[in-house]
Amino acid sequence: MKKVVLFASGEGTNAEAIMRYFHGRAEVAVVAVFSNNSAAGVIGKAREAGLRTIVFGREEFNSGVTGAILGTIQPDLIVLAGFLWLLPGEMVKQFRGKIINIHPSLLPLYGGKGMYGLKVHEAVIAAGEKESGITIHFVNEHFDAGEIIMQKRCAVDAADTPASLAEKIRKLEHRYYPQVIEKLLSR
């Protein structure tokens, strides 16, 4: 069985979609959810699903404690699903090629430090873009700069607000992120 570990900082809608997608499957299992936010909605969702949850602070994260815990789990894939911190270089090296992220824009546009959630959609609309979408990519030592695995697009309509664009993007995320995870784990 292939083991997936999720990292999330917030409500966890992508994490929940991934947990649902793989629930009851013999070949892939989400085994733990890591979060840097003890009040994150994803923690409750993970516990309801019977998953191990690990909550950590910046010191544990940067000192290697979180990476050491990951080492004991030995995940086949680490999936960032709304996780907002840059991973320590040592963790990236330890799990190179086994960490993926999803970003709510067509990278390299509207990525990087501070570009998350509604901020991305506000920037897309303010720039007058006619399309946006999602980018699923491998994680490296820089924000949103790893090798792109997949991009999916959607139209940005004149009537779109950041919230309505976020809803379009969320549908793409929930549809395609679990599929990409499954494909990567089947290689």
The whole-chain average pLDDT of the chain stands at: 96
- Assess if residue 119 is contained within a domain: no
Q: Give the structural domain span for 76.
A: 2-108+135-151+173-185
- Assess if residue 117 is contained within a domain: no
- Assess if residue 67 is contained within a domain: yes
Q: Stretch 115-120: mean pLDDT, rounded?
A: 96
- C-alpha–C-alpha distance, residues 86 and 78, integer Å: 14
Instruction: Give me the pLDDT at residue 100, please.
Output: 98
- Assess if residue 24 is contained within a domain: yes
Residue 187 has pLDDT above 90, yes or no: no
Q: How many domains does the chain have?
A: 1
Alpha-carbon 27 to chain mean position: 21
2-7 sheet: strands from edge to edge: 52-55, 28-35, 2-7, 77-80, 99-103, 131-138, 148-155
* Residue-wise pLDDT tens digits, 119-161: 999 999 999 999 999 999 999 999 999 999 999 999 999 999 9
Positions annotated as catalytic residues are 103
Q: Stretch 99-125: mean pLDDT, rounded?
A: 97
Residue 28 has pLDDT above 90, yes or no: yes
Output the domain CATH number for residue 6: 3.40.50.170
- Assess if residue 125 is contained within a domain: no
Instruction: Give me the pLDDT at residue 167, please.
Output: 98
- C-alpha–C-alpha distance, residues 41 and 48, integer Å: 11
- Assess if residue 129 is contained within a domain: no
Percent of the residues in the chain that have a pLDDT greater than 90, as a whole number: 99
Prediction pTM value: 0.96
Locate 20 and state its tokens: 């649902």
Instruction: Give me the pLDDT at residue 116, please.
Output: 95
